[in-house]
Chains A and B, each alone.
Chain A
Amino acid sequence: MLTVRNLTKTYPGGVTALDGVNLDIPAGMYGLLGPNGAGKSTLMRTLATLQEPDSGTIHLDGADVLADPDTLRSRLGYLPQEFGAYPRTSPEVMLAHIAVLKGIATEKCKPLIEFLLHRTNLWNVRKQSIDKFSGGMRQRFGIAQALIGDPRLIIVDEPTAGLDPVERRRFQNLLSQFSEEQVVLLTTHIVEDVANLCPRMAIMGKGKVLAEGEPDVLTRALDGRLWRMKVQREDLAALGANHNILSTRNRAGALEARILADAQPTGSESAAPTLEDVYLATLNAAGIDTGLNDAMAA
């Protein structure tokens, strides 16, 4: 169980990245959704002990992380959003190096690395240079290095960005295999990842936690309040003035708006809510632009 209390962080430039974040994250996969600039990466880096918050506390299984970061570090798996490897270095060598730095006993390194290379399907390329890996292979290497040392907390920051659908599915499968006992924290802006993987999730925006809970429960809260309706592009602005439009999409040559309302707007029909609707509704409620204003202005 990872407990985060009142975490705040303001950067010297005056940007408030974290604004009183409270989270209780049980074992298992936990999804963190949010637009760019929501403070996700700051939260991840803080939890990975790469930077300190201005105030607040973090406890993992009751132990104070900020007071004694090295204890967490030895049981932490961190897959940063952007990472690389030393040039002309194979995954085998790189994993061995990280294992030693994590403090794995020397005699345990070799079997552990063999195991991880097999599990991440990198065994056949274990002697190739990581520079030459494709995006998917690189991410799998990333997860392999994060799994060294039987981590209690695994943090994966935007792991599926830029992967093709097959690699993304493969990565999701890999991740879910390892998330039974540990806390796995996954940030993404791909809603589908969270819907597929995470029993619990939170939505962040402007440095705050805007919504938290199980995806199904959050989705069901919109039951009976979500409507879809065909509109002409020029009527969109007028509709937006009276209704809370979550999103618009092109469907069969016409524009379809999804509207959140307690009473059915005239001319609309009921729609089944998805996690994406939850995400957009939460951001709308917090006054965060989801790109709709541009669509209406266009």
Chain B
Amino acid sequence: MLDIFDFECRYQWRSPHFLIVAAVFFLMTFLGMASDSEQISSSDAALNLNSVYAIVQTHLVFSVIGIFPAIAFVATAITRDHKLRTAEVFYASGVKPSAFATGRFFGGLVFAVGVGLAGLFGTMVGTFMPWLDPERIGVLNPALWAFTAFVILLPNYFFICATFFCLATLTRSMAAAYGAAMAFLIGYLKLNAFTGPEDLSWVVYVDPFGGASISEAFCYATVAERNAELPAGSILINRLIWVSIGAIFLLIATTHFRFSLRKPARKKKRERTVADAPKVTVRPDTAFAPSLFGQFASQLRMDVRGVLRSAPFYVVLAMGMVNVIGVINGSTGQPYNTDSWPVTGLVLRAIEGGFLFVVLMIVIYYVVELVYRERASRVSDLLDSTPAASGAIILAKVVALWAIIAMLLIVVMITGMIMQLINGFTAIEPGLYLRDLLVVNGSYFGGARCRYRGVCRQPLDRNARHDRGVPRHQCSPELRLRTQPVPLQRAVGPVLRHERLRALCGATGVVHALLSALLCASDDRGAPLEPSRVRLFVSRTAPDSETTVLPTDRIRWRDQRLGNDRYKCLDLLQHQCPQ
């Protein structure tokens, strides 16, 4: 076991990852301490810069940020051998599986903790910088640093590493570990968001990082106490709970780790052996009836199936759903302390803010995935030697992406409707949903390159859309307020109604994608073997691949627009709200 541990440490030390991540953590905490602009924890001007409260809070935040590097260290430690095909060598060496897994885990853990300590060291060095206000630097308190290292960082990293190490061991998949980490992170942030300071009684034990215990300990503390006193109370019990949970996960991982070269077999029922049917012995005669549409439809089915059967799709979708439900709850509950119905307009707004990034992520990921799919799974030679038309297959991929987007939008639409019904709002407006999601946000179809940025940057009038169709009596005060039209300010050039504009962008995107499909069909990018016929699949690295049009412009546009929007709301509330 010690050999394995030693090997793992040497391996990690030789790879540049540790040094890079540790350097980043060091710099971030160092600047957080030593410069005014980079405040990590919201610090109080009355507190010392190196107060117990500030430092513990900072490193709580860094424990959370550290999830991903920590997973990288421990999960690669156990999945690496399969990827590098060195598994046989280790497995044949006669080491016990449990010792192997334990050694690898602690090897990875050392480096994960090392990253956390690099951060702590950054803070420590930062406090000695001569330009800091000496009035706000308290005496150096060794107990504080020990507390942060042993009560905050070490248990946090141990828990995180053990949990995701267990997951990576059981699934043998880095993607599964990262996906679960995303879900974990969202869950954790939601846990924080849903609880105020008055509701910490149970959260102090549920918070795996111990942040709630710290908040509880300092809740009513004075400045002097926050500066110098180490938090007590539930923190130790919390640590005990989560270290034990981590230890259980570690135990599961080490006892379930097997030296088999294949992925862990599923249960028997997955092995669908099918009862023998009467044997066909006469070769059926072959009739050819090539149909372009048939080829297109078959490829479309394969590609949609491929996406719907891949894990990242569901991970990202689940993230989006959690988020959008949270946003709908948050935004329709009591925006600006007014009680409002979840009218369709508000729900659509919540969807735009909380879900459409999911669509964007899925588009960006799967546009590449779909285009590259045949090569990655080595099907391309089989397909290329058939007489199928390249254009039909490329078009199928474009349409598959559209189908996925449409499915996502419909899923979120139904979710929105269910949320409305749960909140007692029964005037469901499917038409409004469909128009907003499928037409107004139509530019997702085809990942449009928005060429109308100049126009899009104008402040756009959203009010008309949001409140159309909502009966006046159901509008909240806030909504009624916002029905007053905001004039289009500083309009440059022809003023387009933004939904028409976005529909237009969508249409051009669709045309663009279609053209890409057609152009791509006559475009031969030099594959290593110089294929004679049209390659179906554009290289992943080609910088200007016609079919991988990424809607990056839209990101900026969206941010810009939401920014404007938020500004407008506040502006209205401040200046036009009847007192």
Contact = CB atoms under 8 A, between A and B. Distances in A.
Contact of A97 (B290, B302, B532): B302
A76 B272 contact: no
Contacts of A215: none
Nearest to A17: B529
Contacts of B533: 49-50, 69
Contact of B272 (A83, A114, A127): A127
B531 interface: yes
Interface stretch (A101-109, A185-193, A271-279): A101-109
Contacts of B272: 127-128
A295 interface: no
- Give the one of B286, B291, B305, B373 with max A CB within 10 A: B286
B379 A84 contact: yes
- Give the one of B273, B309, B386 with max A CB within 10 A: B386
A88 interface: yes
Contacts of B279: 118
B280 interface: yes
A45 B528 CA distance: 13
Interface residues of B, number: 46
Given A50-B385, A126-B274, A150 B286 contact: yes
B531 A100 contact: no
A103 B529 contact: no
Interface of B: 271-274, 276-277, 279-291, 294-295, 298-299, 301-302, 305-306, 309-310, 373, 377-379, 381-388, 529-533
B309 A96 contact: no
The 10 closest A-B pairs by CB, nearest first: A103-B290, A52-B532, A84-B378, A105-B289, A101-B388, A73-B387, A150-B286, A100-B298, A111-B284, A101-B386
Nearest to A84: B378
Contacts of A123: 274, 276-277
Given A50-B381, A86-B373, A69 B532 contact: yes
Interface in A114-130: 114-115, 118, 123-128
Given A86-B377, A104-B288, A106-B289, 6 more contacts: A50-B384, A51-B532, A76-B385, A89-B302, A89-B305, A101-B388
A128 B388 CA distance: 26
Given A50-B529, A80-B381, A127-B274, A86 B284 contact: no
Contacts of B277: 114, 123
Contacts of A88: 306, 309
Contacts of A105: 287-289
A48 B298 contact: no
Contacts of A149: 286, 288
A78 B382 contact: yes
B274 A98 contact: no
A36 B271 CA distance: 38
A118 B310 CA distance: 30
B387 A102 contact: yes
A78 B380 CA distance: 12
Contacts of B280: 111, 114-115, 118
Interface string A72-90: 0110101010111111110
7 contacts: A11-B530, A51-B529, A69-B533, A73-B386, A86-B306, A104-B289, A150-B285
A83 B378 contact: yes
A105 to B, nearest CB: 4
Contact of A85 (B274, B291, B298, B379): B379
